[in-house]
Amino acid sequence: MSGAPAPAESPSPSSSSASGAASSAAAGSGATVAPDALVHPAAGVDHAADPVAPKAGLWNIANLLTMTRLVLVPGFVLLLVHDDGNDPKWRSFAWAAFAIAMITDLFDGELARRYGLVTDFGKIADPIADKAIMGAALVGLSALGDLPWWVTAVILFRELGITLMRFWVIRHGVIPASRGGKLKTLTQGVAVGMYILVLTGPLASTRAWLMGLAVLLTVVTGFDYVRQAVVLRRAGLAAERALSREVAAAASGAALASGTVVASGAGAARGSDADGSEVGGSGAGGSDAEGRGADAPGSGGPEQGV
């Protein structure tokens, strides 16, 4: 009848099988699949066409600032030790080079993070440039007799030790820069800069106190960094052990499920063999009985004729 509603179209076997495959794949991988993607797989989003964020090139502004700082290191040393460090004019030039290097250190990392200019070169070169300019200044000042060697030893030991510790925990995470660490860097830079300049009178006493504060902050922040590194490493190892247990449990569950499926298949196969044997046996018995029944009248036939 024309008034009867048209029967709903049933999904084709191919679309049903595709939907089932998608559901099985999603269940096996733990992913969430939208219902539309299950009913109409062709309507899924092609992620291969998604735009890919461009990778930062080597010659970006952040890396150029880092390179500038690296190039300034040998020039700074030459300016500092010129005329055995006794010429105030050349010491002023050395101070200018040191100041430029410290200022670029304030901007290159921030520019790289803010504008997506982080590169493998920057990750390696930036800390090297930081340690190189500060280490050159400390060693140069101690070699000229302007700064005690124990101050240089304490600061360099802390900086190199923290750098090695950073590699020790890098696979577990990154320890963010703290306010104490930033204050330490600022205090070190100002104090070392004052020692580079030829100062006399109250300014000479002020730089000594400022360098003492820099050494104190260096030691305190160093211990704090060690504490954070140990906590981070312990948490990372605990997370790795938990993940290993989850993977092992998932593998055991998959193996158990696979064994159950194999056992069920073997049981079904044995049941089919048993049914076939019963059918074959009954058919053979019936044929034999009919044959024996047919022989009985035939054997009696000749006897009656006789």
Read off the pLDDT of residues 154-176 as tens digits, 9 standing for 90 and up: 999 999 998 888 888 888 887 77
Q: pTM of the prediction?
A: 0.62
Read off the pLDDT of residues 291-300 as tens digits, 9 standing for 90 and up: 444 444 444 4
User: Which of 165, 144, 142 lies closest to 230, judged by CA?
Assistant: 165
Residue 258's pLDDT is 79
Instruction: Go through 153-190 and write b for each residue having 16 or more CB atoms within 10 A of its CB, e for each that does not.
Output: ebbbebbeebeebeeebeebeebeeeeebeebbebbbb
Most confident listed range (53-62, 207-216, 241-250): 207-216
- Residues 6+ positions from 292 with CB-CB distance below 8 Å: none
Read off the pLDDT of residues 6-35 as tens digits, 9 standing for 90 and up: 444 444 444 444 444 444 444 444 444 444
For tokens 């300016």, what's the residue? Answer: 79
Chain centroid to CA 305: how far?
104
Rg (CA), the chain: 42
Read off the pLDDT of residues 49-70 as tens digits, 9 standing for 90 and up: 444 456 667 788 888 988 999 9
Read off the pLDDT of residues 129-147 as tens digits, 9 standing for 90 and up: 888 999 999 999 999 999 9
Cβ neighbourhood burial of 133 (10 Å; 0-12, 13-18, 19+): buried
User: Which tops the pLDDT comparison, 116 or 221?
Assistant: 221
